[in-house]
Amino acid sequence: MTDSNMPKSVLVYVGLDRVGDSLLKLPFVRGLRVAFPDAHITWLAGKDTSVYAGIMAPVVEGLIDEVIEHPGAVEGQRDGIGLSPKELLRRPLKGRDFDLIIDTQKVALATLILFRIRHKEFVSPFGNFVLSSKKPAKDYKFPKLMQRQLLDLLEITTGQNFPTPAQLELELDPALIKLAASALPEGPSYIGLSPGAGGLPKCWPLEKFIALAKAQVSKGRVPVFILGPQEIDWQTEIAAAVPSALFPLQKNKLGEAHNFAPQLTMALTKHLALAVSNDSGTGHMFATGGAMLISLFGRTVPEKFTPMASDLTIIRAQDYGGREMDLIPVDAVSQAIERVLDQNA
């Protein structure tokens, strides 16, 4: 794009953003600002909320100018954009207009409703880019990896090149780095364990995480459980079974005091020798923090949600007979830990 036709207002539509999503989408967000340095960039979570409006707001400061959540509720209509065919009878966002709209999804209803917003250019992968002002080459195949999907959309929109980063780098608050160093002082070999996820079907059974923790204790290592607000009730069971386990976010209510900021977990990650996680937001925090990561997948697709870790091992339930997480053996994860640590000794 030349300076004369650079958009002054850009709207990006997503369904929603959880922490893991927000980290996977961050290269795209950064690329947006590189591509459109002077534009007002609006991020629209059409079907739910976005952590870019909350705990991840500091990370996108200066990159996103406005985050809209629950847009239907703002308009006195049904809560969202892309939820009801009735939305086709009105113009969303109170008739606002944008120079450029980038639709990041491929659901027909949401795309058709978005197209009702006044715009100069519209880019969407729906229907093989049938409504798009800009289109890829005829032999183009939409990639599986989320980061690449979004960066491809940006490349198609701008004609610029946006490579996929091997690892996501974030500048952390020095105060959080200091707190993390105090919570996990130098000396022990810490193994990070994150048993939580966005839903129980994505979780390797807690008893298997406990068995894995016991195996690490037997090898002279210290298990470090990263428990978010929804997993706090697990602490009692874990602590009873593994007395030497650490819970840094729960100690002195550190996590609560800092609203369980993802950046705090990333700072803690820098003190881990290795981490094991389900397909979860914490797994992506581990990756962003720089940990060697063993990522456990069952019903979700690793080809789409691969964490941006510099050293990544993926273990799939499918390799053990199905999609259920409990099919993954403890021995398989234990052996992977030993293999990764030996290779990096």
Q: Can you tell me the distance from the alpha carbon of 167 to that of 288, in angstroms, rounded to the nearest whole number?
A: 7
- Provide the pLDDT confidence category of residue 70 given band limits of 50, 70 and 90: confident
Per-residue confidence (pLDDT) for residue 79, from 0 to 100: 63
Please determine, for residue 72, whether its predicted confidence score (pLDDT) is greater than 80: no
Give CA–CA dist 2/187, Å, rounded. 55
- Say if pTM beats, i.e. exceeds, 0.95: no
Q: Which CATH class is domain 3-158?
A: alpha beta
Nearest by Cα to 162 from 21, 32, 288? 32
For residues 25 and 319, give the distance between their C-alpha atoms in angstroms, rounded to a whole number: 28
Q: Give the residue-averaged pLDDT of 194-209.
A: 96
Residue-wise pLDDT tens digits, 30-69: 999 999 999 999 999 999 999 999 999 999 999 999 999 9
Check residue 1 and give its pLDDT: 53
**Per-residue pLDDT band at 345 (split at 50, 70, 90):** confident
Domain residue ranges in the chain? 3-158, 176-343
Q: Quick one: pLDDT at residue 3?
A: 61
CA 186 – CA 66 distance, rounded (Å) = 41
Q: Stretch 270-297: mean pLDDT, rounded? A: 97
Q: Which tokens hold the place of 287?
A: 């990756």
Lowest mean pLDDT among 8-12, 42-46, 69-73, 335-339: 69-73
Flag whether pLDDT at 75 surpasses 60. Answer: no
Question: Strand ranges (DSSP E) for 195-265?
Answer: 222-225
Q: What is the DSSP letter of 17?
A: B
Per-residue pLDDT, 74: 46
Q: Fold match between 3-158 and 176-343?
A: yes
Q: Do 189 and 272 touch, CB atoms closer than 8 A?
A: no
Taking the C-alpha atoms of residue 64 and residue 53, their distance in angstroms, rounded to an integer, is 10
Which tens digit of pLDDT belongs to each residue from 141-177? 999 999 999 999 999 999 999 999 988 989 999 999 9
pLDDT tens track for 215-240: 999 999 999 999 999 999 999 999 99
List Cα–Cα distances, 90 to 42, 72, 81, 87, 93, in angstroms.
20, 11, 11, 6, 9
Decide if pLDDT at 261 tops 50: yes
pLDDT of amino acid 294 = 98
Min mean pLDDT across 109-113, 167-171, 282-286 is at 167-171
Who wins on pLDDT, 180 or 301? 180
pLDDT of residue 18: 94
Domain formed by 176-343, architecture: 3-Layer(aba) Sandwich (3.40)
Average pLDDT of the segment spanning 177-182: 97
Residue 73: pLDDT above 70?
Answer: no
